[in-house]
Amino acid sequence: MPVVESRIDTVTLYQQGARVTRLLTLDCPEGRAPGELEIPRLPLALFDPTVRVRVLSTGGDGADVTATNVRVGLWLPPREAPLETVDQAALRTLRQQVRTVESHIRQRQWELNVFGGITVPPRPKPEEGKPPPASPLGARMALEQFTHDGAQARLAEMRALGEQLRTLREEVAVLEQRLALASTARQVTAQDLYKSVHVKLRYQGAALSRASLSVEYFVPGARWAPSYQCRLTRDCRQMELVMRALIGQHSGEDWSGVKLVLSTAAPLSWTELPELSSIRIGRAQPPPPARAGFRPPPQGAASLFSDFDRDQQALLRALPTPSPFPLPTLNSPMDLESLEPPVPSDPDVFMSEVMADEGGVERLAAPSMKAFAERDAEMEEMAEEPMAVAAGPMAPPPPAPSRSMMPASAGAPARRKEMSKKMDRGGPASGGYGAGPTQAGLEAVVFTHLRLAPASDGAHRNRLQPMDARRFYLETLARFQVEVTFDVMAAVAGAEARAQGMASTPLPGGTADVRNASSRFDFSYTAEATVDVPSDGVFHSVALGARTGDASVLYVAVPREDSNVYRQAEVNNPLPAPMLAGPAEVYVGGEYVLSTTLPTVAPRGNFKLGLGVEQAIRCARNTRYREQRSGSKIVATTELWHDLTIDLANNLDRDITCEVRERIPQPAPDAEVVVEEGTVTPAWEPYTQQERGAKALEGGRRWRLTVPANQTQQLSAQYVVKLYANNELEGGNRREA
């Protein structure tokens, strides 16, 4: 089966999770496509039921290639085998030689110490009154020469033995390293595991030279949030909106040089299309029956297996009764040997064997691929010819796998029962991964991952059941002839858990969830260039593109509260889709001004963007107050006149549009006070601040005028407060400071 590498071409990033599209090219030198194909190096966290394989194009005219029977298994990268086979006997011989040489060195060291302990006797002392005796000079010199020659010989032997010991130790180290490489070449860790897609190709038609295929799958553990850069010109007439995205993903594979599409949709959420009831004019008709989401099973389907059950019972009655097996008496070593299990003559008939070593870990012994083909052929023959089971005794059922190796779709009977009930009701099985179902739930509703149980399974033989992912995982892993010292399904579940943890990772400060910002409408945003996003669970800023739009600037002054004049840009949304809420960096004339948060803006909508204080425009507000008594009426009143004068100076080299906002006092309900406007130049208009979405403002007024470049314009207004002469206002009659 050929293994064809693929590359990531496009990533569609949703609110949570992403759909990855890989492309691959299949060369067909023999003029036809292979019967089966494997696509390796896929992340462990992908959802198996979401894998799709499509044939995009073929290199020959009239050639028809179809991808069928897509399955997901496990895959290991090629591992380098040791250069030579390690001979354990040679290693033991070298270690024995090392111990022998070390013993010889210790012997020579002991002899050297013995020679060092031999001393030359001194010249004998003479007796008193007698001449000194003759000195044995020759014997003394001979003894000294003997000790010197013996010590030098031992030192030379020790140097030779030391060199030999060093050479032997180097040879032992080389063999031990080769032994370690040979032992680890068959071991694999959880970090080495990948998933792969097995697909069968159905070929017909003319000769084929090349075919292009695509592989799509969904991975959790990816999120995004929008951010922006607003770059305005110095006169604030043009704006460049740079759209960026803060992307974080922990899918298990790095996205390098991929085409990126951002979407606000939730692809795994269950959505039902609405059905509108028809309205008929005329004679009343009975209501149509309600449509079910799934077709109910046919009535009487169990009776189709009556012949099979009858023949199976007849075969079981025809089988001879097995003789009772006598229990051995454990009295001799021969009886103990009789309890050993029989060794099969052909080990290839076994799919896989789980062995426990001294450390208590599970090791997977891998058979050849020939055994799988022979086993599948035998199972197909047994399914087609049920009478063949009478030739021998019934095979015992296989042992149940350990709970630690069971996949998410193979355990939890209560969850399976609930899944079946939901399927009978026509609804999905919802669960984790945000708003979508779990992998077990997806396997229960995706038709391509359902298998019809065999006739021998009396409980489920007329119902579709999710396929056992663990079985195919272990089958595909067994062909690599490696030792697995960890729980394979736990490693897959751990990768899924790490990917799911990205959903609970908090978004960067100032950002908003795209699902809430889009108001439940789905939109997509395409990046203009390829991007790189590593799989580290950290948010990275990625540039999507830039759009240019028109803008206008409005200068706003509220001299009653502040003498500064503020810039406010009104910007049109240059995107064809809504501009989602998110943080923005604002630049004016290439200089950084401030950071703010933009609201959600509809397509072709506009929004206001505050740009801070404009230092080149000055505003001054002066007030005058006078109080007079009116005696022309029967009841005397007091009139409180307030004159306002506002000077607005434009020191810019261009005309500006400025809005000056004011407010006049309003009488309280049931108060014996009247407020009237006097002369206003130029005329103003009421202002209620409804565009800000705030509470309606009482007594608000505003001027909207154009001030020429390098000129000053004066605004004046007058209002009077009338009250009875024997009354006064709370806080003083003068309302302007």
**Selection from 253, 212, 182, 183 nearest residue 40 by Cα:** 253
pLDDT at position 333: 37
Q: Do residues 239 and 548 touch, judged by C-beta distance below 8 A?
A: yes
Between 589 and 389, residue with greater pLDDT? 589
CA–CA gap between residue 309 and residue 304 (Å, rounded): 10
CA–chain centroid gap for 31, Å, is 40
Average pLDDT, the chain: 78
Q: Do residues 255 and 11 touch, judged by C-beta distance below 8 A?
A: yes
CA–chain centroid gap for 437, Å, is 17
Instruction: Tell me the percentage of the chain whose pLDDT exceeds 90.
Output: 31
Q: Of all helices (H) and strands (E), which one includes residue 170?
A: helix 137-184
Tell which phi-psi region holds residue 546, choosing left (phi > 0), alpha (psi between -120 and 50) or beta.
Answer: beta
pLDDT at position 294: 66
Would you say residue 662 lies in a domain? yes
**All residues at 6 or more sequence positions from 125 whose CB lies less than 8 Å from its CB, including other chains:** 132
Q: Is 80 exceeded by the pLDDT of residue 153?
A: yes
pLDDT-derived band at 412, boundaries 50, 70, 90: very low
Q: What is the DSSP letter of 707?
A: E
pLDDT-derived band at 336, boundaries 50, 70, 90: very low
Tokens representing 728 are 């006064």
Lowest mean pLDDT among 3-7, 258-262, 438-442: 438-442
Q: For 486-553, give the DSSP string.
A: S-HHHHHHHHHHHHHGGGGSPPPTT---HHHHTTT---EEE-SS-EEE-SSS--EEEEEEEEEEEEEE
pLDDT at position 243: 93
Q: Do residues 66 and 202 touch, judged by C-beta distance below 8 A?
A: yes
Would you say residue 623 lies in a domain? yes
Range of the domain at 640: 617-724
Between 78 and 528, residue with greater pLDDT? 528
pLDDT tens, residue by residue, 511-567: 888 888 777 788 899 999 999 999 999 999 999 999 998 888 899 999 998 889 999
CA–CA gap between residue 522 and residue 457 (Å, rounded): 45
pLDDT at position 29: 81
Name residue, tokens 């389907």: 301
Q: For 292-307, give the DSSP string.
A: PSSPPPPTTGGGGGHH
Q: Is 60 exceeded by the pLDDT of residue 406?
A: no
pLDDT-derived band at 161, boundaries 50, 70, 90: very high
Would you say residue 709 lies in a domain? yes
Which pTM does this prediction carry? 0.64
Would you say residue 582 lies in a domain? no
Q: Looking at the 3D structure of the chain, how many domains does it have? A: 1
pLDDT at position 54: 93
Would you say residue 237 lies in a domain? no
pLDDT tens, residue by residue, 448-460: 667 788 888 888 8
pLDDT-derived band at 247, boundaries 50, 70, 90: very high
CA–CA gap between residue 542 and residue 531 (Å, rounded): 7
pLDDT at position 326: 54
Would you say residue 491 lies in a domain? no
Q: Assign 642 to helix, strand or coil.
A: strand
pLDDT-derived band at 605, boundaries 50, 70, 90: confident
Would you say residue 325 lies in a domain? no
Would you say residue 316 lies in a domain? no
Q: How far is CA 429 from CA 183, 440, 441, 452, in A?
A: 45, 9, 5, 20
